Structure 1
Amino acid sequence: MSRVLITGAAGFIGFHLTKKLMNKGFEITGIDEINDYYEPKLKRDRLQQLGIQNAKPGTWVSNPDGNLNFIQASTYDKDIVEDIFDKYDFDYVIHLAAQAGVRNSIDNPYKYTQSNIEGFLPILEACRHKTPKHLIFASSSSIYGNNTKIPFEESDAVDHPISLYAATKKANELMAHTYSHLYNIPVTGLRFFTVYGPWGRPDMAYFKFAKAIFEGNEIEIFNNGDLKRDFTYIDDITEGIEKLLDKPSEDSPTYDIFNIGNSHPVKLMDFISTLEQELGKEAKKVYKPMQPGDVYKTYASTEKLNKKTGYQPATNLKEGLSVFAEWFLNYYHYK
């Protein structure tokens, strides 16, 4: 039975991926600091869905089935990371732990360098000494910045990020490439494109829109609604990661980068309209100018990932938002 380390296991993608791999028979070790960037209760409720109760800092907790061991800790604590790698012999390592949020990185820059850069180095160092079959880490579509060539391809230049968050993700790619080259670690980075779905992040626009709609508040629509996003449903993301797990690059260095998205950009106003339909309530809209750090359009070319794994997103926007809306109304007890 393969053992997998998932960092950020209480996060949005980490939670869904942990659940998926557990159901496939993997033994999972999870780590998450459960910070207060957004409501920690949501993170703890995700953990409860995985069978983890009463997680406390620095203490191991196991689920009843014994296929998930979890510790609340930060990956920039190198001593804890070293202990985890000493405790378990991992076949695969999936590093998703990071401080998310493009706009928040403008106001809280130190948190981003600590979590996203200092928090990645102990993972790389541990993989250097105990090489897993494959290390997969989270990058971001935001590193494409204001590139005008679309769709975005992995071979495009990404040397001009327009937010600190994007800069830290570019740094992650450089760090990972260096470690792969020096120590022959099989490493793959994934550039995620606007992931949405149930149990999502409350700081994401679609989640904020849903809450505002039911609380009678206005929603802020930036660039006067003239934005396009490659919205990607969470199940398509986890499916892509699973497909890639046992397919590390065989080139030298054993390093690769893939876009993982829906490859069908949607106008923001169309997205809002579909969300309103699924929630059964109309939003009060306020139009705002473009925000610092935002990009006009995201559009993933997923041809490379498709050739490698057969990846093909299967969830259309209406289906995905329908599932999100049902979860959202139940979780927050809205009528």
Structure 2
Amino acid sequence: MASVLVSGCAGFIGSHLVELLLQRGHRVTGLDNFDPFYGRHRKEQNMAGFRQHPRFTFHEVDLRHGQDALVDALPAEPIEVVVHLAAKAGVGPSVQAPIDYLDNNVLGTTHLLEWMRQREIRKLFFASSSSVYGNTPARPFREDANLQAACISPYAASKLTGEQLTYTYHHLYGLDVLNARFFTVYGPRQRPDLAIHKFVRLLQAGQPIPVFGDGSTARDYTFVLDTVAGIAAGVEHLLTHTGVYETLNLGNNRPVTLLELIKAVGQAVGVEPELRFQPMQPGDVDVTYADITKAHQLLGYAPRTPLAEGLQAFVQWMGQQEGQ
């Protein structure tokens, strides 16, 4: 049993991860700042199943406020591994408010790393993003791709900078690090601004679906429990290995075009979609496609959830939310 700190514990991925870590017997300290990007009540609902768990402790902390905020909130709690999920998310919004993304994702990460250095906590799982690949032509995306000119949104740039910061702290201070690039995670508790969430709401309301571009853009959709299983495996790897610095893709290794996705969502909802084609959005990439060979070799990572099954789980969860 280990002591794990999860930043962003009230979010979509974070709340699922906390549940799994508690199921596996770990002690979990959760941090969240309840960023107003979407309603606090949704995040409170995400935590409802474990907020009172005897091995879970929660602190409302904003990492932008510096490492002193962490020192005040966590004066003596023993932490063996940090899973850093907290971030300002979203490619499109980052184009409109880049400073907010650099403030949260770069400065906030730096504050967390400094606190870890001062506390001599030497194990970090850092949540990066497939956005760092941009429109890299070589596919599937491999972790050793040259990303010098790849980022095409402030969000992507903030995540790649986070990876560079973790390497700096690994090199200078001996921090063990796994950087994980997530690929379009979906499932119950998904953020309301994301495509699948929007599509289900529109279909259920009898409204048309906006299609940005010609519908041929593709994403490597990964069910949240598959992603979370990869994170938990990463935590175990960090606990049992030293001298670690690795960057991994946590995707599904199967791109799905936008038109294919809309058709699958329509089948899950039981509604034939009506499409409205619109121009591409700034910052959007053409394709995301994960090579997951390295994650499989290092962590045994193997996503198992077919898209149709994952969408059914999401639609069922949406129905439960409407009944509350």
TM range (shorter): over 0.9
TM-score scaled by structure 2? 0.95
Give 1:308's aligned amino acid: L
Q: CA deviation at 1:82?
A: 2.2
RMSD: 1.6
CA apart distance, 1:250 = 6.0
Give the secondary structure class of the aligned counterpart of 2:64. coil
Alpha carbons of structure 1 residues 251 and 20: separation in structure 2 relative to 1, 3 Å: closer
**Equivalent residue letter for 1:21:** L
2:249 to 244, 251, 259: 259
> Is residue 100 of structure 1 aligned with residue 89 of structure 2?
yes
Distance 1:251 1:49, change over 3 A: closer
**Structure-2 separation of matches of 1:87 and 1:110:** 33
State how 1:150-169 maps to structure 2 within 5 Å: 150-160=139-149, 161-169=151-159
Which string of whole-angstrom CA distances, capped at 9 and with x for unpartnered residues, describes residues 114-144 of structure 1?
Answer: 1101110111112212333520011100000
Q: Please, which runs of 5 or more residues in structure 1 have no aligned partner?
A: 52-62
Distance in 1, Cα, partners of 2:99 & 2:272: 38
Following TM superposition, the consecutive aligned residue runs of length 4 or more in structure 1 with deviations greater than 3 angstroms are 248-252
Aligned to 1:70: 58
Note if contact 2:163-2:179 (Cα within 8 Å) is conserved in structure 1. Answer: yes
- 1:22-101 superposed matches below 5 A: 22-51=22-51, 63=52, 65-78=53-66, 79-101=68-90
Query: 2:141, 2:291 within 8 Å by CA — same for their partners in 1?
Result: yes
Distance apart, 1:84 and its partner CA: 4.0
Residue-by-residue CA offset, 1:199-236 (whole Å, 9 max, x unaligned): 11111111111111122333211112111110000010
Q: How many pairs were matched up?
A: 321
In structure 1, what is the Cα distance between the partners aligned to 2:241 and 2:26?
24
Output aligned runs, 1:1-335, within 5 Å.
1-51=1-51, 63=52, 65-78=53-66, 79-160=68-149, 161-248=151-238, 254-333=244-323
Moved more, 122-131 or 204-213: 122-131
Post-superposition CA distance 1:155-211 (Å, at most 9, x none): 001122000000000110111100110000101111000000011111111111111
**Percent of aligned positions that are identical:** 37
Q: Point out the more displaced range, 179-188 or 76-85.
A: 76-85
Spell out, residue by residue over 1:18-69, the C-alpha distance to the aligned partner (whole angstroms, 9 max, x if none).
1111111111111111121122221111121223xxxxxxxxxxx1x32111
Decide whether the 8 Å contact of 2:61 with 2:73 is kept in 1: no
Q: Is the 8 A contact 1:134 1:246 kept in 2?
A: no
What 5-or-longer segments of structure 2 have no aligned partner? none
In structure 2, what residue type is equivalent to 1:32?
D
2:86 and 2:182 map into 1 onto residues whose CA distance is: 14
With the length of structure 1 as denominator, give the TM-score of the two structures.
Answer: 0.92
Letter in structure 2 aligned against 1:37:
F
